Structures are given as C-alpha cells and as structure tokens.
Amino acid sequence: MTPDDLKKTAEIIARARSVISLTGAGISVESGIPPFRGKGSLWETIDPMEFAHIESFLKNPERVWRGFLAGMKDLLDRARPNQGHLGLVALEEMGRLSTIITQNIDGLHQLAGSSDVIEFHGNFAWQRCMTCDTLIPSSDIDLSVLPPRCDCGGLLRPDCVFFGEMIPDLSLSRSRALASTCDVMIVVGTSAVVQPAAMMPVIAKNSGAVVIEVNPEPTPLTHSVSDHFLRGTAGRVLSALVEEIRKILD
C-alpha cells in the first residue's frame, strides 16, 4: 500500500454518496480470533469446512462441540474490537459509511459501536434449542457436559449459519439491494470464496460501484473485481485510511 493508493482511495470514500463495507474473518484476526483460511489459521489440525458443516453437526454434535464450538466460544468470550472495527466506526461517525455486511459471527462490529450491521451468518452470542426453539445467551450455557442441552432436553446449536445452510432471506435481500446501489464497497479481510457473501463485491462492481479491498494477501477478487487493493492488516490500513479521509473532510 503506497501513500498514493491511500490518498486515492481516501478521496473516493470522502466524495462518495453511499459507502458500505463487507467484512470477513480477517478483520477479527487482530482481536485474537483466527480465520478459517490464510496464515495463522488455528484450524490447521482440523478441517473447519467439516466441523462447521451442518451435516457433521447433526451426525455427531458432541464431536463438533468438543472439537470446534467449545474452543470458538472461549475465543469469542475474550475477544474485543480492534483498530479495524474501530476504523469502520470512525467512518460511520464521519458520515462515510452506512452499513456493514459481515460474515463474522463474533458480534465485534456492534461491540465497537457500528450501528447498522447485517450479520450474514448469524451471531454466536446466542444458542438455539433444536427442539423448542428457545434462544439462550451463549454466556449462560454450561459446557461441562457436551453437547450442551436446553432445559427441555433438546440439543443446543449456535444461532449461526453452518456451511450447508441457507442465509436468512432478509439478510440476503437487503445485502443484495445495498450492494447494487452503493457507490463504494470496502471489502475487508475476506478470502471471498464463501458464497453467497463473495458475490456481493461482484454485484457492486457490476452495478458501477468502486470496490476497495483491504487484505494482507491477494484474493480471487484482487486482480479482477477490486479497483483498489490496499495490502495490509485491517487495523493498520483502516486507521491510515480514516486519518487520510479526516484530512480531506476537515
């Protein structure tokens, strides 16, 4: 990322009418939550696609709770927003960002203070009983016996979208509508391979928006869909971008 790239993208964001962001696991890496893919992934010994697939969960919920969900809960309980999440809050406060579409289930955008967050894959903060549909805060569940159960005896599952499940209609239709009407989409920390989230930058681009991508590594979007690639971590790049936009707006 050169100072020139930063200046150019800051100008675009400062002058845009409607800016939205699409975020992925990468924005939470600096909060201590490893991504599924790319460097530093915690899941080197297990296949997250397998453990995060609904079929695996239904086949053996105890194995998935023990090998994946219990560890995830522990990480999420401790995680706090980082400079990347705070950078997006600053953009909103400057009137330069309206909505975040996130693939993350960690709730860190809301905790940081972003006000309009579409949680494409749900939120791990809640567990749902598969028998009576009761929602229980994750902080209240007892993991001493796995898999955890509701008072009715039903199995508890995170209120998230597993691989192999559908995205809630409302999240999908609202995201599509925003992607096709925004004039800038800032894509942060996603490997852009999980569908249908990965389609959002393509919809934005095909509708005439400028796509700005922030990631330490190139992705399938980088040399095709993204108009600008700001290489670096979310915390570093978004803080620098906010500073540059402030200079233009002040």
Q: What are phi and psi of 230, to 5 degrees?
A: -100, 100
- Residues making up the chain, counted from first to last: 250
Is 223 among the residues known to form the active site? no
Within residues 87-146, the interface with Zn ion by CB under 5 A covers 129, 131-132, 134
CB of 241 to ligand NAD, least distance (A): 13
Among 91, 129, 150, 234, binds ligand NAD (CB under 6 A): 234
What mask of x and - would describe binding to ligand NAD in positions 79 to 118, judged by CB under 6 A? Answer: ------------------------xxxx------------
Among 33, 100, 204, 211, binds ligand NAD (CB under 6 A): 33
Decide: 13 and 184 in contact? Cβ < 8 Å: yes
CB of 129 to Zn ion, least distance (A): 3
What mask of x and - would describe binding to Zn ion in positions 150 to 169, judged by CB under 5 A? Answer: x-x-x---------------
- Sign, CA dihedral 25-30-32-35, equals positive
Decide: 161 and 167 in contact? Cβ < 8 Å: yes
Local structure of residue 163 (DSSP, 8 states)? B
- Check 53, 85, 109, 121 and give the catalytic one: 121
CA distance 153 to 147: 11
CB of 130 to Zn ion, least distance (A): 8
Token pair listed for 4? 């020139």
Task: Write out the catalytic residue numbers.
Answer: 121
